[in-house]
Amino acid sequence: MNHTMTELQRESRMGALGTVTTDRDVRRIDLSDFENRREQITDELWAAATDIGFFQVVGHGIDLAEVRRAFAATEAYFALPEPVKSRATLKKGLNSGWESMTQVRPSIGTPDQKESFQITRPHMDGLWPGEENLSGFRDTVLDFERRCWELAMSLLSCFADRLGFDRDFFTRAHDPSTVSYQSTLRLLHYFALPEDAPLSPDVWRAGAHTDFDCLTLLFQRNGQGGLQVCPGREMDGEAWTPIEPSDEAITCNIGDMLMRWSDDLLPSNFHRVKSPGPEDHRGARYSLAFFAQANRDVLIESPRGKYPPITAEDYLRQRVEANYSGAKTTAAR
C-alpha cells in the first residue's frame, strides 16, 4: 500500500525480523518527590527521550494495588463470552469498544494476534459491559484512566518546559472535560499459543509500529515479556531491544504527535510484541496502554515548520484508517 504520511512510510519499512540487541540502556527514571525534584527529573527525561525515545518510570505514584486491580478487571473483561464483548464492537473513528484480530499494522500486513478494549471517555455510551456481567469494571477502569492521565500530564509538563511551551500547554491540549478529548486507555489480551501451533515469522502479537499519540504509558506484568523496541533514530539498523516486563515500572514511549510538535527533537520509537518462540512461555499476555492523544480540535503545529499544521482529529483519523482499513468495524462518526 502507498502511504502519503511520513510516519506511515517509515512504518511500512519496519516489518522485517531484524536482529536483537541488549546493548541499549533502558533507563529507569525515579519520579518520587516530583515537585521538589522537577529539574533533575526533567533532565533525565529529556536525555532519555532525545537519545532513545523510550524509558521506564518508577516512583510514579500509581499504587501497585491500583495497577493490579486494573489488570484483574482486564482479565475478567476478556474472559466474558464473545457475544457479550461483541455488543460493544469497536467504533474505530472514536477509538472506543472491543475488537479482536482486526488491527493490521502497515509494517507487516497481518492482523495482530490480540483482542483489545479501548476506552475513550466521551464515546463510551452503550459500550460498557453491564454490571450483571462485570461488577465494578467501569469504575475501576475509569479511575485508572484518570491516574494515567495525571501521570502523563506531569511527564508532558517536563517536555513542555524544555520545548519552550508553557508548563500547562499539553494539559490544555489533553483536556478531559470536553467532548473533543481523545486520549485512550487500551486494555490488551494477546492470545495464548497452543503447544502445537506452528511458529511463523509473519505472525506477531503486535506488529512493528510507532504510536500515534504524544506519549504512551505501557503497563506490563512480570513474566509476560515479548515487547521489543527500536529507537526511531536507529531504525535503519533494525536492531530490537527486549524490554523486561515489571509490575512496578511503566514503560513510556514518545509518540508521533510529540515528534511533530518538537520538529523531530523527540523521536517516536518503534516497538512490537513478538509471538512466543520455542523457548518462551506460551500463555496469554495482558497489558495496558494509555495513549495521551491531543484533543480533536487542537492544532499540531511544529514550531519550525518541519511538518504542515494538522488538527489532532485529522491526524488520528489518517492513522486509524491505515491500521483498520480492512477491518469490519463501525466507522461511527
Ligand X SMILES: O=C(O)CCC(=O)C(=O)O
Site for ligand X, rule CB under 6 A: 186, 188, 206, 211, 218, 220, 227, 271, 273, 287, 289
Count of residues near Fe ion by CB under 5 A: 1
Contact residues for 222 (Cβ-Cβ < 8 A; gap 6+): 245, 246, 247
Residue 114 grid cell: 490480540
Residue 225 CA, chain-centre distance (Å), reads 16
Half-sphere exposure of 173 (CA within 13 A, CB side): 27
d(CA 125, CA 88): 10
Q: Of the two residues 45 and 188, which places its CB atom closer to ligand X in the complex?
A: 188
Q: Whole-number minimum distance, CB 209 to Fe ion, in Å?
A: 6
- C-beta closer to ligand X: residue 138 or 221: 221
Binding site partner of 151, from Fe ion, ligand X, none, Cβ cut-off 5-8 A by kind: none
The single residue listed with the C-alpha cell 466474558 is 80
Of these partners, Fe ion, ligand X, none, which one is at the site of residue 155 (CB under 5 to 8 Å by kind)? Answer: none
Question: Closest approach of Cβ 291 to Fe ion, in Å?
Answer: 8
- Contact in structure between 53 and 269 (CB atoms under 8 Å): yes
88/288 with CB nearer ligand X? 288
Secondary-structure percent of the chain, ordered helix, strand, coil, rounded to 5 = 30, 20, 45
Instruction: For residue 234, state whether it binds Fe ion (rule: CB under 5 A).
Output: no
What is the x/- site pattern for Fe ion, positions 186-215, by CB under 5 A?
-------------------------x----
Nearer to ligand X, 159 or 286 (CB): 286
> Considering beta carbons, is residue 107 or 287 the nearer one to ligand X?
287
For residue 186, the partner it binds in Fe ion, ligand X, none, with Cβ less than 5 to 8 A by kind, is ligand X
Strands laid side by side in the 184-190 sheet? 28-30, 54-58, 250-254, 215-219, 285-292, 184-190, 114-119, 97-100
What is the closest distance, in whole angstroms, from the C-beta atom of residue 33 to ligand X in the complex?
29
Strand, helix or coil for residue 188: strand
What is the nearest approach in angstroms of ligand X to the Cβ of residue 161?
27
Task: Tell me the residue nearest to ligand X as measured from the CB.
Answer: 287
What residue 274 binds from Fe ion, ligand X, none (CB within 5 to 8 A, per partner kind)?
none
Q: Which residue has the cell 518503534?
A: 270
C-alpha cell at 281: 512461555
Minimum distance of ligand X from residue 304's CB (angstroms): 28
Residue-wise burial string across 62-98, b where 16 or more C-beta atoms lie within 10 A, e elsewhere: beeeebebbbebbebbbebeeeebeebbbbbbbbbbb
Q: How far is the CB of 68 from Fe ion (least distance, A)?
A: 22
Shortest reach from residue 120's CB to ligand X, in Å:
14
Beta bridge partners of 104: 111
Nearer to ligand X, 157 or 293 (CB): 293
In the bound state with Fe ion, the residue whose beta carbon lies nearer, of 186 and 233, is: 186
Which residues, listed in sequence order, are joined to residue 20 by a DSSP beta bridge?
Answer: 240
Binding site for Fe ion (CB under 5 A): 211
